[in-house]
């Protein structure tokens, strides 16, 4: 069996997920045994024509990106959105909360037409995405799981339980008990609740669980002393697209 | 099973322990075997941990985060280790190890008894039961906080059967009256030897519960016969966010998920089980996307029926032990006692109408 | 404390078994013939299932589709829907599988004896029913009429074409088939499975009905059967739920107070009526 | 040299972070254009910060750049603390210094050994080296892992750190963990670093010799090698307070770049490892000084291709300084303290920290509700861009006799030498175009 051809592509994002991939120092060589990396701009010069698995990082936020992602999709058998920017638009999508024209005007003034910009969108808004690795930065264990699974020809597990579940499995002290705010109850797990484990609250970087109880979430945050607006602002830090599209929050 | 009630308590041997002898006693136990006891966790929480230093043991604690079940049904447990190429596997080796659980609240032990029932019933599971063997429990009394309601589910402060010894705090100081509940307990005391038997027999101090169910616990299953279609479920579901905390921390919940993971060498792997819970969205979802309990009102109802009806119909006991974890740790502040009381209200109005 | 002395078992160890034969039935379904090691018998009842596993790909409940009357080996029919079933479809004769079971309650065959038997199968529901169909055919004299109703979405999804040909040929079996969406070549009935029920002439008191199909099918089939005045006590259903362990522990398959893997998957319809979440 | 025509257009330079193109246009020997076009779509971070509270500022700015996430957090925390008048403890300061060391260490290893070294060995990426130079790759991987472990231990995660918050830490490492880390740094870290230095020394001959003197700007402190704290130091005019940063950076916009450029006393200035080395080399540890000697690096050095060498020198320093910080923390004993988040004032706070690519400024103004009203970040790569353009303009005529491939390669190597971090640089809020 020939090794699967794997490629990595980056769009608009902080490249933290790209970097994270190089942070598997212990596993990197083993991973390289399993696959042929044919394109990885950050780390190498080579380019290839087609890919068995294409990993896409970053959100789509300029017209040229749209063309490029269509092109990559055509040439890829499996396409994986890597990291929250690619999965949901991520933190870039905060700008979508304001009218695009206004944002561009603040930035470029009269020359706003020089650098065309579109709302930051998830990859799935443009092309079909087969699998996701969520998180900002992408969750390292989940990436390894998806990578291994796909290389071995197996569907990866899709996590759709709350971050609380993983907090409970680790018997973390709940940060709510420390008087802090936490998005864990409505955020998708898969990260091992790494933020509460480190004493910090969950900022919701993996987006909401599916079938979420919208009003319940707002009520919950109100109970913890947040105004509806503040609650929404916090919830949308990484999920402006997901939450705005699917859900009319408490309005 | 024979209940030890206060009338019988008087017949038990009793010993007086002060702070120092309690500490010495823990150290004495540690020399014999592994001791597990409540300790500080984080800033204001507690957890049961293996004792490394007797001074770490905290005897005044409201409740731990995870219940005792974690020692018999670990949150994450490997079931099999396999070799993909050779298609062979090895089951996880589980040994029955002597261990003493020290400083355990009585509802906690009741929780274990409920789990024993669940793991023995039908197909007795060796993973749980093997871990469960050779465990001794030494109890301690506690001051109920606003979440405890054990008395309301039939576990009053003086229910101490199943323990080998029971420590009852007798004053505001760190002094305890220790009741010898069975012969194992007597053996421990005898070989420890540094304490004196008390001749003037005491009773276990009654405790004041602030959190109460409105109806006697014998009648709760009856209420559940009539409230399946109650509006209470919808009301609760408006606030619940389906995080699953109440399931995972419940002393008598034992549902699990199983996943396979392959190592990076593409050769070895493990089949692992994880705690799971019926409040989670995907719990009852099958291929094709059909979700048999898609709505939160259905899920909440299932959770409570599991505690007060479904298993109770077979075991004759409530499978809620009143520890209050599901309410204390619910991020939406949903209180199980409030739910039950609303159901009772619903039930009584129904009865009045008929 | 109450004694822990019970005979306990490791419930999760699969038996590594061999695939003897793989047969493609449709684009998404394959039939597997499987042998336990040392020619051991599975000893199952029609309607029971096994937990099938492939290391690294997980485990899933699959109904046994062959009759215990036939061979020491047994058969499974599997639809490709996910992690494990996709991988199963890649396997060939000679490959190994893990098997646990048989689990669950099968059909209450004793109650079927001397009665007319009506089978209602929707889609892949024919697989679990085939075990019972074959059983009743093999013990043909124990039963009176045998009527098989089978519906699929389209002709390409029809399972067991060889067996169907045989059933059609036999004069002692009444076989009716329908598809929701016909193709150019289809000459038979068109419509959902419930359209096959009203035309039947039945001795309702003496007809036992077994229904297996996708979740939404049950409600409508039951309605049609009621239209025929078939007593509830004569109806059996096989229900599907998510399952992880198959032995009554993991909790996923629970319908109200009932574990599908223990009390089911085959339920007597009156019992289903007690279970609010069943259908 | 007779009128040569040369057009180079490297689309999306590889082995750099973010998207940039090299454009050279020479007609009849006349250099019309030699520049780095920054084409990364802008991300509007300062706009995102508006209306956010003081805890969120560092969380958001961390996402400006995954490579420099720790640096952004540190600078952001310092700016917030300055604005709100939050005092931090000695322990917090030392832990932060460990984090800054760790991130400089990891980023420098990544750049010097994984991204730049392949050029010196004439291959297109680090991956072929797995077969030809396995020992080096393994040592480099171990170094990177160790550097990341520092971040993971002290801040919970190497990328987008978790536990460092305004006023302190939400979780502290244990004494045992710090002791183990120290062991590892001394036993394995220094050994691997020395080995990597030896390998780099053996190929240092392939480093192009190109000299252009420029102004070097970095953080400077007379107590230690300037990374976490200090004043701003220019090699041209000496020390300046951080509050003057706008007068130093003088950001301006050029049409070929979505990122702003900067200049101070000359047409351009350089920031980063070389600027730090040139300004602060006397404060390096002895071992680090020896490493510089071994690699042929002497201050002041005006060859930008030597930046990777300066980075390796810093790796040795960071390992040793981390050990020193751990010793200091352990000898004082770890104190369980909660972050100090009681604001004593609301106003403007300006802070600077050295991040791997150079000096970074964050400037926030908080209103009385503790919400950010205005924010500005000046990022090192932006400050280097004009300097890179100036380098190219001098370099192209010097190497014009070489083949187009060689010229292109040298230009790519030059851009790469600066280790530009383009996502980071594309951050601006209000921009006016210069004609
Ligand atoms: C008693 C019983 C008998 C069955 N008999 C057959 C049969 O004869 N032939 C056949 O093809 N299928 C049968 N099924 C369904 C089969 O078990 C599922 O299709 C299978 O579990 C999917 O597993 P997977 O790993 O391939 O998919 P996964 O990748 O695990 O899952 C794909 C989807 O299926 C869901 N799912 C997970 N577990 C189950 C489950 N136990 N049942 C249904 N959906 C699930 C997941 O939520 C997901 O949406 C039966 C199920 C039950 C309960
Ligand atoms: S800390 Fe957050 S994620 Fe963890 S249990 Fe509490 S609310 Fe849930
Ligand atoms: S805990 Fe929350 S914020 Fe942290 S990584 Fe997980 S999902 Fe993201
Ligand atoms: S803990 Fe509370 S919010 Fe979470 S699932 Fe349980 S009831 Fe719902």
Residues D130 and D13 in one domain: no
Provide the residue range defining the domain that includes C213. Answer: 109-238
Average pLDDT, chain C: 92
Please report the sign of the dihedral spanned by the C-alpha atoms of residue B327, residue B329, residue B330, residue B332. positive
Please report which confidence band the pLDDT of residue C157 belongs to, taking 50, 70 and 90 as the band edges.
very high
Q: Tell me whether residue D2 is in a domain.
A: no
Segment C23-46, tens digit of pLDDT: 999 999 999 999 999 888 899 999
Q: What is the pLDDT of residue D340?
A: 94
Residues D402 and D287 in one domain: no
| Interface touch A165/B76, C-beta < 8 Å | no
Q: What is the pLDDT of residue D428?
A: 38
Residues D218 and D141 in one domain: yes
Q: What is the pLDDT of residue B77?
A: 96
Residues D170 and D313 in one domain: yes
Q: What is the pLDDT of residue A117?
A: 65
Q: Is the pLDDT of residue D427 over 70?
A: no
Using the atom order of ligand 1, give the atom closest to the CA of residue C261.
1
Query: What is the count of structural domains for chain D?
Result: 2
Domain termination site, one of C80, C103, C126: C103
Name the residue among D189, D93, D119 with its Cα closest to residue D149: D189
Residues C19 and C130 in one domain: no
The list of chain B residues with pLDDT below 70 reads 1-7
Q: Tell me whether residue D291 is in a domain.
A: yes
Q: Is the pLDDT of residue A132 over 80?
A: yes
| DSSP state letter for A2 | P
Please report which confidence band the pLDDT of residue A103 belongs to, taking 50, 70 and 90 as the band edges.
low
Name the 3-class secondary structure at C17: strand
Please state, as a whole number, how many other Cβ atoms lie within 10 Å of the Cβ of residue D176: 8
Residues D147 and D222 in one domain: yes
Residues C121 and C159 in one domain: yes
Q: How far apart are CA C85 and CA C52, in angstroms?
A: 9
Q: What is the pLDDT of residue D430?
A: 29
Q: Is the pLDDT of residue D366 over 50?
A: yes
Between A230 and D328, residue with greater pLDDT: D328
Between A41 and B264, residue with greater pLDDT: B264
Domain termination site, one of C103, C127, C161: C103
Residues of B with CB below 8 A from C96's CB? 87
Q: Tell me whether residue C156 is in a domain.
A: yes
Write down which chains contact chain C via at least 3 CB pairs under 8 A: A, B
* Chain CA centroid to CA C229, Å: 25
| Exposed/middle/buried for residue A2 (C-beta within 10 Å: 0-12, 13-18, 19+) | exposed
| Interface touch A42/D15, C-beta < 8 Å | yes
Name the 3-class secondary structure at B187: helix
D268 to chain A, closest Cα gap in Å: 24
Question: Going by DSSP bridges, is the β-strand pair D164-165/D168-169 parallel, antiparallel, or unpaired?
Answer: antiparallel
Interfacial B residues in 265-284 facing C (CB < 8 Å): 269, 271, 273, 276, 278, 283-284
Q: Backbone phi, then psi, for B226, in 5-degree steps?
A: -120, 0
Side-by-side strand order, sheet with B76-83 = B88-91, B76-83, B268-275, B256-262
CA of A179 to the centre of ligand 2 (A): 12
Segment D138-173, tens digit of pLDDT: 888 899 899 999 999 999 998 999 999 999 999 999
Q: How far apart are CA C225 and CA B275, in angstroms?
A: 41
Nearest CA in chain C to B131: C4
Segment D222-244, tens digit of pLDDT: 999 999 999 999 999 999 999 99
Please report which confidence band the pLDDT of residue D257 belongs to, taking 50, 70 and 90 as the band edges.
confident
Residues C136 and C213 in one domain: yes
Segment D68-121, tens digit of pLDDT: 889 999 999 999 999 999 999 999 999 999 999 999 999 898 888 887 888 888
**Domains of chain A, earliest start first:** 5-151 (3.40.50.700), 163-246 (no CATH)
Alpha-carbon distances of A122 from A58, A95, D278, rounded to whole Å? 8, 13, 44
Residues of C with CB below 8 A from B319's CB? none
**Residues with Cβ < 8 Å from B89, sequence gap 6 or more?**
B80, B81, B82, B83, B271, C13, C14, C55, C98
Residues C119 and C227 in one domain: yes
DSSP D206-256: GS-------EEEEEE-SSSSSSSS-EEEETTTEEE-GGGHHHHH--BB-TT
Residues D21 and D109 in one domain: no
Ligand 1, pocket residues at CB < 6 Å: A 155; B 285-287; C 49, 58, 60-63, 77-79, 81-85, 124, 127-128, 240-243, 265
Instruction: Give the start-end residues of each E strand in B135-208.
Output: 135-140, 165-169, 176-180
Domain termination site, one of C103, C127, C162: C103
Please report which confidence band the pLDDT of residue A109 belongs to, taking 50, 70 and 90 as the band edges.
low
Between C8 and D304, residue with greater pLDDT: D304
Residues of C with CB below 8 A from A145's CB? none
- A204 ligand 2 Cβ < 6 A: no
Question: Would you kindly state where each structural domain of chain B is located, as residue ranges?
Answer: 3-192, 217-353
Q: Tell me whether residue D99 is in a domain.
A: yes
Best mutation target, C53, C54, C55, C56, to test chain A (most A CBs within 10 A): C56
Provide the residue range defining the domain that includes D426. Answer: 7-41+386-434
Using the atom order of ligand 4, give the atom closest to the CA of residue B241.
3
Q: Tell me whether residue D258 is in a domain.
A: yes
Segment A164-173, tens digit of pLDDT: 999 999 999 9
Residues C117 and C168 in one domain: yes
Name the residue among D319, D283, D312 with its Cα closest to residue D297: D312
Residues D96 and D22 in one domain: no
Q: Tell me whether residue D341 is in a domain.
A: no
Q: How far apart are CA A56 and CA A129, in angstroms?
A: 9
Q: How far apart are CA D204 and CA D304, in angstroms?
A: 14
A199 to chain C, closest Cα gap in Å: 32
Any idea what the CATH number is for the domain that residue C53 is in?
Answer: 2.40.30.10
Average pLDDT, chain D: 87
Any idea what the CATH number is for the domain that residue D308 is in?
Answer: 1.10.645.10
| First-residue to last-residue Cα distance in chain A | 56
Q: Tell me whether residue C243 is in a domain.
A: no
B177 to chain C, closest Cα gap in Å: 22
- Residues of chain D with pLDDT > 90: what percent? 54
Residues C178 and C114 in one domain: yes
Residues D400 and D373 in one domain: no
Best mutation target, B243, B325, B333, to test chain A (most A CBs within 10 A): B243
- Residues of chain D with pLDDT > 70: what percent? 92
Residues D177 and D210 in one domain: yes
Q: Is the pLDDT of residue D34 over 80?
A: no
Residues D294 and D189 in one domain: yes
CB A82 within 8 A of CB A56: yes
Q: Which of A171-180, D108-117, D277-286 has the highest mean pLDDT?
A: D277-286
Q: Tell me whether residue C79 is in a domain.
A: yes
Query: What is the count of structural domains for chain C?
Result: 2
Q: Is the pLDDT of residue C134 over 50?
A: yes
Residues of C with CB below 8 A from A152's CB? 56
Q: Is the pLDDT of residue D435 over 70?
A: no
| DSSP state letter for D384 | H
Q: What is the pLDDT of residue D18?
A: 62
Q: Tell me whether residue D1 is in a domain.
A: no
Ligand nearest to the CA of B245: 4
Q: What is the pLDDT of residue B102?
A: 97
- Using the Cβ of C57 and the Cβ atoms of chain A, whether some distance falls under 8 Å is answered with yes
Segment C177-220, tens digit of pLDDT: 999 999 999 888 999 999 999 888 889 899 999 999 988 899 99
Q: Tell me whether residue C138 is in a domain.
A: yes
Of C82, C239, C244, the residue with max ligand 1 atoms within 8 A of its CB, to mutate for a pocket test, comes to C82
Between A14 and B191, residue with greater pLDDT: B191
Side-by-side strand order, sheet with A76-82 = A36-40, A5-10, A51-57, A76-82, A131-133
CB B331 within 8 A of CB A176: yes
Of A165, A185, A220, the residue with max ligand 2 atoms within 8 A of its CB, to mutate for a pocket test, comes to A185
- Using the Cβ of A173 and the Cβ atoms of chain B, whether some distance falls under 8 Å is answered with yes
Q: What share of chain A is helix, strand, coil (3-state, %, to 5)?
A: 45, 15, 40
DSSP B227-265: -TT-THHHHHHHH-----HHHHT-SS---EEEEEEE-TT
Largest CA distance in chain D: 72
Residues D415 and D283 in one domain: no
Residues D50 and D176 in one domain: yes
Q: Tell me whether residue D342 is in a domain.
A: no
ipTM value, please give it. 0.90
Report long-range pairs for D237-240 (Cβ below 8 Å, ≥24 apart): D237/D265
Residues of B with CB below 8 A from C248's CB? 121-123
Q: What is the pLDDT of residue A246?
A: 40
């Amino acid at each position: 069996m020939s090794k699967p051809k794997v490629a990595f592509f980056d769009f608009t994002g902080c490249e933290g997920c790209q970097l994270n991939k190089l942070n598997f120092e212990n596993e990197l060589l083993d991973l390289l045994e399993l696959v042929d990396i044919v394109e990885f701009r950050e780390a190498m010069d080579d380019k290839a024509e087609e890919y068995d698995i294409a990993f896409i990082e970053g959100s789509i936020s300029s017209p040229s990106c749209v063309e490029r992602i269509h092109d990559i999709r055509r040439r890829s058998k499996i396409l994986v959105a890597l990291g929250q920017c690619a999965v949901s638009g991520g933190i870039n999508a905060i700008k979508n909360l304001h009218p695009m024209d206004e944002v561009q005007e603040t930035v470029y003034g009269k020359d706003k037409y020089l650098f065309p910009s579109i709302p930051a969108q998830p990859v799935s808004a443009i092309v079909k995405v087969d699998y996701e690795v969520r998180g900002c930065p992408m969750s390292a264990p989940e990436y390894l799981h998806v990578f291994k699974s796909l290389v071995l020809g197996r569907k990866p597990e899709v996590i759709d339980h709350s971050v609380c579940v993983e907090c409970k499995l680790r018997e973390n002290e709940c940060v709510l008990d420390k008087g802090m705010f936490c998005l864990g109850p409505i955020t998708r797990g898969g990260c091992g609740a790494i933020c509460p484990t480190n004493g910090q609250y969950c900022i919701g970087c993996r987006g909401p669980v599916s079938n979420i109880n919208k009003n319940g979430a707002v009520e919950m945050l109100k109970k913890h002393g947040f105004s509806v607006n503040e609650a929404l602002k916090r919830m949308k830090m990484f999920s402006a697209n997901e939450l705005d599209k699917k859900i009319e929050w408490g309005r | 099973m024979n209940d030890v009630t206060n009338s019988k308590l008087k017949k038990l041997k009793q010993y007086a322990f002060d702070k120092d002898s309690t500490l010495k006693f823990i150290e004495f136990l540690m020399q014999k075997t592994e001791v597990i006891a409540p300790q500080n966790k984080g800033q204001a929480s507690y957890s049961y941990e293996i004792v490394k230093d007797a001074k770490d043991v905290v005897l005044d604690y409201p409740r731990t985060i995870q219940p005792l079940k974690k020692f018999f049904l670990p949150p994450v447990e490997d079931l099999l280790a396999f070799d993909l190429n050779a298609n062979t596997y090895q089951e996880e080796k589980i040994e029955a190890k002597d261990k003493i659980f020290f400083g355990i609240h009585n509802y906690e032990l009741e929780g274990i008894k409920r789990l024993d029932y669940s793991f023995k019933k039908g197909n007795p599971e060796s993973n749980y039961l093997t871990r469960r063997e050779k465990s001794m429990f030494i109890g301690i009394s506690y001051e109920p906080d606003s979440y405890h309601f054990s008395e309301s589910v039939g576990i009053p402060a003086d229910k101490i059967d199943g323990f080998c010894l029971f420590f009852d705090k007798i004053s505001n100081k760190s002094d305890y009256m220790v009741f010898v509940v069975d012969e194992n307990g007597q053996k421990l005391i005898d070989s420890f030897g540094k304490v004196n038997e008390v001749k003037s027999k005491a009773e276990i101090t009654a405790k004041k519960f602030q959190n109460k169910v409105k109806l006697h616990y014998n009648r709760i299953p009856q209420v559940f016969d009539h409230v399946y279609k109650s509006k209470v479920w919808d009301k609760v579901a408006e606030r619940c966010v389906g995080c699953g905390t109440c399931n995972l921390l419940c002393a008598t919940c034992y549902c699990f998920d199983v996943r396979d993971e392959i190592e990076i060498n593409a050769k070895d792997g493990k089949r692992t089980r994880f705690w799971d819970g019926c409040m989670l969205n995907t719990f009852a979802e099958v291929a094709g996307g059909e979700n048999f309990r898609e709505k939160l009102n259905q899920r909440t109802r299932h959770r409570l029926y599991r505690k007060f009806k479904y298993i109770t119909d077979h075991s004759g006991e409530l499978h809620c032990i009143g520890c209050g974890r599901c309410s204390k740790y619910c991020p939406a502040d949903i209180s199980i006692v409030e739910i039950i009381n609303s159901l009772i209200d619903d039930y009584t109005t129904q009865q009045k109408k008929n | 404390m109450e004694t822990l002395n019970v005979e306990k078992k490791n419930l999760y160890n699969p038996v590594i078994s061999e695939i003897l034969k793989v047969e493609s039935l449709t684009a998404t379904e394959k039939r597997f013939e499987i042998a336990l090691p040392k020619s051991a018998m599975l000893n199952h009842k029609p309607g029971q299932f096994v937990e099938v596993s492939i290391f690294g790909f997980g485990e899933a409940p699959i109904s046994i589709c062959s009759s215990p009357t036939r061979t020491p080996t047994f058969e499974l029919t599997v639809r490709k829907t996910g992690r494990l079933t996709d991988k199963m479809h890649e396997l060939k004769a000679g490959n190994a599988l893990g098997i646990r079971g048989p689990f669950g309650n099968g059909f209450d065959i004793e109650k079927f004896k001397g009665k007319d038997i009506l089978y209602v199968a929707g889609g892949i529901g024919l697989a679990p029913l085939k075990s019972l169909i074959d059983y009743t055919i093999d013990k043909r004299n124990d039963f009176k009429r045998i009527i098989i109703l089978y519906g699929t979405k389209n002709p390409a999804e029809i399972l067991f074409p060889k067996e169907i040909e045989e059933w059609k040929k036999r004069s002692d079996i009444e076989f009716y088939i329908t598809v929701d969406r016909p193709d150019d070549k289809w000459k038979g009935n068109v419509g959902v499975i419930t359209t096959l029920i009203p035309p039947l002439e039945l001795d309702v008191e003496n007809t036992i009905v077994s229904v297996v199909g996708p979740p939404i099918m049950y409600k409508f089939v039951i309605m049609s059967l009621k239209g025929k005045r078939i007593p509830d006590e004569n109806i059996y259903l096989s229900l599907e739920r998510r399952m992880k362990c198959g032995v009554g522990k993991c909790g996923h398959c629970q319908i109200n107070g009932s574990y599908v893997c223990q009390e089911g998957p085959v339920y007597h319809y009156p019992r289903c009526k007690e279970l609010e979440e069943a259908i | 040299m007779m009128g040569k025509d040369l057009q180079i257009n490297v689309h999306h330079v590889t082995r750099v972070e973010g998207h940039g193109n090299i454009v050279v246009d020479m007609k009849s020997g006349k250099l019309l254009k030699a520049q780095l076009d920054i084409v990364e779509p802008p991300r509007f971070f300062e706009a995102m910060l508006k209306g956010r509270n003081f805890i969120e500022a560092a969380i958001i700015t961390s996402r400006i750049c995954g490579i420099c996430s720790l640096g952004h957090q540190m600078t952001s925390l310092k700016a917030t603390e300055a604005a709100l008048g939050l005092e931090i403890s000695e322990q917090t300061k030392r832990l932060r210094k460990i984090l800054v060391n760790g991130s400089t260490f990891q980023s420098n290893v990544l750049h010097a050994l994984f991204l730049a070294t392949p050029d010196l060995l004439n291959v297109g990426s680090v991956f072929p080296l797995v077969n030809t130079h396995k020992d080096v790759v393994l040592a480099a991987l171990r170094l990177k892992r160790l550097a990341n472990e520092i971040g993971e231990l002290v801040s919970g995660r190497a990328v987008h750190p978790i536990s460092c918050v305004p006023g302190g830490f939400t979780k502290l490492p244990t004494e045992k963990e710090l002791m183990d880390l120290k062991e590892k740094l001394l036993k394995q870290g220094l050994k691997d670093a020395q080995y990597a230095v030896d390998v780099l020394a053996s190929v240092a001959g392939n480093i192009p010799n190109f000299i252009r003197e420029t102004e070097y700007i970095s953080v400077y402190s007379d107590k230690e090698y300037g990374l976490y704290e200090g004043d701003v130091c220019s090699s041209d005019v000496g020390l300046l307070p951080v509050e003057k940063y706008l007068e130093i950076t003088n950001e301006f916009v050029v049409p070929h770049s979505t990122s702003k450029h900067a200049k101070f006393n000359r047409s351009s200035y350089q920031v980063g490892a070389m600027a730090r080395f040139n300004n602060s080399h006397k404060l390096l540890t002895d071992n680090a000084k020896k490493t510089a000697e071994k690699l042929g690096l002497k201050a002041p050095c005006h060859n930008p291709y030597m930046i990777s060498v300066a980075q390796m020198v810093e790796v040795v320093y960071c390992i040793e300084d981390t050990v020193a910080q751990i010793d200091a923390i352990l000898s004082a004993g770890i104190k369980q303290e909660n972050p100090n988040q009681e604001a004593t004032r609301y106003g403007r706070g300006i802070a600077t920290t050295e991040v791997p690519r150079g000096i970074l400024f964050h400037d926030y103004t908080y209103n009385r509700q503790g919400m950010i009203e205005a924010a500005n970040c000046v990022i090192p790569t932006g400050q280097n861009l004009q300097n890179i353009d100036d380098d190219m303009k001098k370099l192209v005529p010097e190497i014009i006799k070489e083949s187009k491939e060689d010229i292109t390669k040298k230009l790519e190597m030059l851009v790469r030498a600066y280790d530009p971090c383009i996502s980071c640089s594309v951050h601006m809020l209000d921009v006016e175009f210069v004609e």
